[in-house]
Amino acid sequence: MDAISVIRTKRDRGRLTDAQIDWVIDAYTRGEVADEQMSSLAMAILLNGMDRAEIARWTAAMIKSGERMDFSSLPVPTSDKHSTGGVGDKITLPLAPLVAACGAAVPQLSGRGLGHTGGTLDKLESIPGWRALLSNDEMMAVLRDVGSVICAAGDGLAPADKKLYALRDVTGTVEAIPLIASSIMSKKIAEGTGSLVLDVKVGSGAFMKNLADARELASTMVGLGTDHGVKTVALLTDMSTPLGLTAGNALEVRESVEVLAGGGPADVVELTIALAREMLDAAGLPDADPAKALADGSAMDHWRRMIIAQGGDPDAALPVAREQHVVTAAESGVLTKLDAYAVGVSAWRLGAGRARKEDPVQFGAGIELHAKPGDTVKAGQPLMTLHTDTPEKFDYALQALEGAADYAAAGTEFTANPIVLDRIS
């Protein structure tokens, strides 16, 4: 086989055969298929799609490209969570130690930022000393000692996905449902977790802009997990407005610690507890109370132990950007919209994300929100603060925020979207 014939098949709206899929994934992993060829195939998949059988075979080929982990020796059940990505989505940070405090083990393999959405590993690396790269033995040791670990997938786990994940970020192919589903599920199935809860974001700041696409993605992933023996459920959650009051790496770590301390924004707390309950139920621990574990400090204790176990200092000062710029409300009245996508792109332009897969991120860069939809504001009052080490980025970041906020007359009733929109099982 050759890459050109595979690309042409999908370019011409054909169906890839099992043999074509097996070959192209294996050849790309070995370096026989070049990045530019896989980029072309990824774009063809984005434009022309894949059927259920193609996605299943693509996922199986990604799993087969590497090793599979086994947590059956742990004395407690395992449960994991994955988010499809959003703006201000720091939920994994408080969620993993919270679920561990309730009695399940959480082997959380996470990724870096994709496009305008932040990456869990980028956020945690803003903590001095913290290590994302752990060997399988180190990962197991942290799980046994602490109950939760958040780390990068090892080189041996779905290596095809590791290459393709970075490529999608810089080639405009992140939104392809077949590639999202196979990327997520190949890692999670190979990881060996006993149960999985998917947080499928819906709205302007998500890759799925509407409920129909989100349901399609969620159903595809739930089916893939179930077929491989992993108990899988999905929540569709709102991403029309940023989660919480921060978007950016160190900014989101600070907010996550506030949640673990019993405070934090109400939407972050609500979604963290909702996902924790789903994870615990899927793990066979339906009577555990995550709200109590947040209130009594046990989740914070697990957080500190987890950070220390991975080389980090939970008491160290987090990076702070050198420059700030305040954006003020353009009108007086009720804030009715604060577009998540605009905020995400602006944070990305400030340095919180990367334009090329090899680019570093600025740990202190991002956006701090001072109001959310439903709040009453006055013209000229601070609406958000932009943070960056490179002030020449402000103008470009501000362009992304044009039209991001809408206002209504003071006293106008406003009803926000619910955080959880639907459940797929």
Q: Cite the active site residues.
A: 82, 161, 168, 183, 187
Strand runs labelled E in 239-380: 246-247, 323-328, 333-338, 366-369, 376-377
Is the CB of residue 141 less than 8 Å from the CB of residue 311? no
Is residue 405 within 8 Å of residue 325, measured between CB atoms?
no
* DSSP per-residue string spanning 142-158: HHHHTSEEEEEPPTTSS
23: its two tokens: 């070959």
Q: Could you give the CA distance from residue 72 to residue 80 in angstroms, rounded to a whole number?
A: 14
Q: Collapse the DSSP code of 55 into the 3-class scheme (helix H, G, I; strand E, B; otherwise coil) and give the result.
A: helix
Q: Which helix (H) or strand (E) holds 201?
A: strand 195-202
Whole-angstrom distance, CA of residue 265 vs CA of residue 149: 24
* 3-class state of residue 343 by DSSP: helix
Beta bridge partners of residue 150, listed in sequence order: 108
Residues 6+ positions from 32 with CB-CB distance below 8 Å: none
Other C-beta atoms closer than 10 Å to the C-beta of 15 total 12
Per the CB < 8 A criterion, the answer to whether 173 and 43 are in contact is yes
The amino acid sitting at 359 is D
- Tell me how crowded residue 320 is: count the other CB atoms within 10 A of its CB: 13
CB atoms within 10 A of CB 226: 14
Helix ranges, 130-265 (H): 136-145, 159-169, 177-191, 211-227, 249-260
Give the separation between CA 30 and CA 228, rounded to whole angstroms: 25
223/178 Cα distance (integer angstroms) = 13
Enclosing H/E stretch for 233:
strand 231-238
Pick the closest to residue 138 from 26, 258, 270, 306 (CA basis): 306
Of 74, 282, 61, nearest in space to 189 by CA:
61
Q: List, in order, residues 6 or more apart from 279 with CB less than 8 Å away.
A: 79, 80, 81, 95, 99, 104, 106, 195, 197
